[in-house]
Structure 1
Amino acid sequence: MKISVVLPCFNAMPFLEEGVQSILSQSYSNFEFLIVNDGSTDETSTYLNSINDPRVKVFHQNNQGLGTTLNRLFQMATTDWIFRMDADDVAMPQRLARQVQHITHAPENLVMVGTGFHIIAGDKAMPSSTVEVTNEKIVDLFANGYAGICHPTLAFRRSSYLTLGPMRIAGAGEDIDFCLRMSEQGLCSNVPDDLLGYRMTRSSLSYSKLKELAVGYDYAIDAYRRRTQGKSEIGIEAFSQHWSKSPTSLLSLVKRRGNMLYRESLISKGEDRRLRSWAFLAAAGLCDPSAGLRKFMRLVR
């Protein structure tokens, strides 16, 4: 079974090489590896042009954003299953093999499968994160604005993508919206094994984009609920105008800030700044109590 691995990148050095090599050294080798450089201004282009492996195809473009870049990659893929990879993450050697094994033994209506993962913060690898494995629990997490499947571990059926159409949100929320729409095509699953190192850095924290994050996630959830209730979706611009006037928008902003603070907590732990880590964790729990205990248990392990 040949698969497609796709990797978008923008100013991805110095972590890009480790991420790329973690795919090229996989125990499962029957894949094409498509990489799009989305207008990087650092040494990303130089490194990509130095790769000498027949499985790798590199494309350069002017900066167009993550959603557009992913759509281009998905459309270029030539195999039945597409596997996501992010530029700064590290795939464990058995990642592709374990997901392919899972796919070949799964029901025919499986459309998405992710894996367990651990977080890399600073120079430290955190303990593995527990992931849900049943379709119902995975979809429920997505429908409440959480990652039922860690997006860089995602593998999905190309035919289902062609049926539902491209990622349609240009920015925050595109991953939740994509996965919720994909879940309506069939079953979702996770391989529980820790098969990816998910890197967190402060450069990935975007406090200035909290409103964009909140609107994007809430739109994806609202559109999903409308579809499941047999109602028509509204456009994201109309939704955004309504959202700004809604009393629940403040709660959504606080929830997204809680997620940012939790990431700060993990990064601080990776830097051995324990007091700072606990302070951020406490603040994150106040912002999002429903997820507080789960995040607390992950941090203390």
Structure 2
Amino acid sequence: MGGARRPDRGGRLRLALLPCHGPLADAPGAVAAVRAALRGAGRGGPAAVPRVTVLQPPLPQASGDAGRVSAPVVSVLMSVRDGAPWVREAVQSLLAQTLTDLEVIVIDDGSTDATADVLASLRDPRLVIERRPHAGLTRSLNRALELSKAALVARLDADDVALPDRLARQRAFLGVHPDVGLLGTGAREVDVTGRELAVVRPAGDDATIRRALIRANPFVHSSVMMRRTVVELAGGYDESLPVAQDYDLWMRMSRLTRLANLPEPLVIRRLAPGRVSAVRDDDRLRAEARVRWRAVRGGAYPWWCAAFAARPLLALALPGGWRRGLRRATRKRGQPRTV
């Protein structure tokens, strides 16, 4: 890097003002109080969400397919719509994981191509497929979450690939870090030919992730593994958000648990042309502004962080080419970016 990097403005102050973690209250109404506060914040209400940490029981031991008598160790959630060219590779990358005690839940979200035939050709007792009328990614993920059985829930997009030891490494990390409820990884970004475009190495520790979270999405959605208890307490994916539903969930989960990333790229993320259209990009910017404003109004960040909520709205006024140029410049400077 040429030259010294500029210091993060207000970095020390921001650390002091970010949410602190403490033990979850033992009172019977604590969980209900958190849920009520999260609902209020989701409606734009001013209620502050209690700053708690959900304490986790030990994770179950992997037993292998032959010894399974109850829930699998990990449930992987996938939604697909018209994904025939890529979905086979995505599912097979999960079924070939070194952690074998898993289930893969695929929601076919009203596909009109050969996706249903491709999925039907994949024969594995760990694969659960449900075909539904088109309802969108957010509702499909909540449906997959509803069908899942494991204490750990992971994600993979239908056009991405998980490296063979991804799930095993994430489970091992969560096994020795019971206070972490949301764990992502780095990713390799490739085009449709497999040519590498970039390597995403997100911030790894809780404090750095929190500083980034109000400014950008510091998680690769397709790489995350989450504790079911925390996801359910946070309320799952917000079905009023057709995009940025992951960013919104991370923001709500951050009030309940610690956050972490494994910086190694354990997922291959395929950036196909048209994956995010110009219209969808506008929707994403509006959703990001909404998510950040909720967080500030709900008490997760100090009031001056409302400036970060305004930034996506300002970006809406820029032509698409200017936006892409700003993203490239942000990536080169190593600043947080939406992933």
What interval of TM-score do these two structures reach, taking the shorter chain for normalisation? 0.7 to 0.9
- In the superposition, relative to structure 1, how do residues 45 and 197 fare at CA in structure 2: closer, same or farther (>3 Å)? same
Distance 1:131 1:154 in 2: 12
Q: 3-state DSSP class of the match of 1:148?
A: coil
- In the superposition, relative to structure 1, how do residues 133 and 229 fare at CA in structure 2: closer, same or farther (>3 Å)? closer
Residues 154-163 or 134-143, more deviating: 134-143
Distance 2:286 2:319 in 1: 10
CA displacement 1:267-289 (0-9 Å, x = unmatched): xxxxxxxxxxxxxxxxx13x785
Residues 62-71 or 117-126, more deviating: 117-126
Partner residue of 1:243?
Answer: none
Q: Give the conservation status (yes or no) of the 8 Å contact 1:135–1:187.
A: yes
Q: Give the conservation status (yes or no) of the 8 Å contact 1:210–1:256.
A: no
Q: Give the conservation status (yes or no) of the 8 Å contact 1:119–1:198.
A: yes
Partner residue of 1:154?
Answer: 224
Distance 2:176 2:300 in 1: 32
- In the superposition, relative to structure 1, how do residues 3 and 247 fare at CA in structure 2: closer, same or farther (>3 Å)? closer
Cα shift at 1:291: 4.7
Q: Give the conservation status (yes or no) of the 8 Å contact 2:241–2:287.
A: no
CA displacement 1:216-265 (0-9 Å, x = unmatched): 1100011011112699xxxxxxxxxxxxxx9866523257947962xxxx
Query: Runs of 5+ in structure 1 lacking a partner?
Result: 232-245, 262-283, 296-301
- In the superposition, relative to structure 1, how do residues 88 and 219 fare at CA in structure 2: closer, same or farther (>3 Å)? same
Cα shift at 1:64: 0.1
Partner residue of 1:113?
Answer: 183
Distance 2:134 2:284 in 1: 20
Name the aligned partner's letter for residue 251 of structure 1.
Answer: L
Partner residue of 2:149?
Answer: 78
Partner residue of 2:26?
Answer: none
Q: Give the conservation status (yes or no) of the 8 Å contact 1:167–1:174.
A: yes
Residue 235 of structure 2 corresponds to residue 165 of structure 1: yes
Distance 1:76 1:256 in 2: 42
Partner residue of 1:277?
Answer: none
CA displacement 1:111-157 (0-9 Å, x = unmatched): 1001111101132024532211011222222211x221100001111
Q: Give the conservation status (yes or no) of the 8 Å contact 1:205–1:260.
A: no
Partner residue of 1:48?
Answer: 119
* Greater Rg by CA: 2
- In the superposition, relative to structure 1, how do residues 220 and 48 fare at CA in structure 2: closer, same or farther (>3 Å)? same
Point out 4+ residue stretches in structure 1 off by more than 6 angstroms. none
Name the aligned partner's letter for residue 9 of structure 1.
Answer: V
The size of the alignment, in residue pairs, is: 256
Name the aligned partner's letter for residue 229 of structure 2.
Answer: S
Distance 1:200 1:133 in 2: 23
Identity over aligned residues, as a percent? 24
Name the aligned partner's letter for residue 6 of structure 1.
Answer: L
Partner residue of 2:96?
Answer: 25
Name the aligned partner's letter for residue 225 of structure 1.
Answer: V
Distance 1:109 1:83 in 2: 17
TM alignment of 1:232-251, pairs within 5 A: 250-251=313-314
Q: 3-state DSSP class of the match of 1:203?
A: coil
- In the superposition, relative to structure 1, how do residues 229 and 14 fare at CA in structure 2: closer, same or farther (>3 Å)? closer
Residue 172 of structure 2 corresponds to residue 132 of structure 1: no
Cα shift at 1:205: 2.5
- In the superposition, relative to structure 1, how do residues 56 and 230 fare at CA in structure 2: closer, same or farther (>3 Å)? same
CA displacement 1:85-133 (0-9 Å, x = unmatched): 1000011111111111111111x22110011111011320245322110
Partner residue of 2:55?
Answer: none
Q: 3-state DSSP class of the match of 1:195?
A: strand
Distance 1:258 1:175 in 2: 25
TM alignment of 1:168-179, pairs within 5 A: 168=238, 169-179=240-250
Of 87, 92, 108, which residue of structure 1 is paired with 2:158? 87
- In the superposition, relative to structure 1, how do residues 230 and 290 fare at CA in structure 2: closer, same or farther (>3 Å)? closer
Residue 334 of structure 2 corresponds to residue 294 of structure 1: yes
Distance 1:79 1:186 in 2: 19
Query: Runs of 5+ in structure 2 lacking a partner?
Result: 1-60, 62-72, 303-308
Distance 1:248 1:41 in 2: 37
Name the aligned partner's letter for residue 189 of structure 2.
Answer: I
- Provide the TM-score with structure 2 as the length reference: 0.70
Partner residue of 2:15?
Answer: none
Q: Give the conservation status (yes or no) of the 8 Å contact 1:254–1:288.
A: no
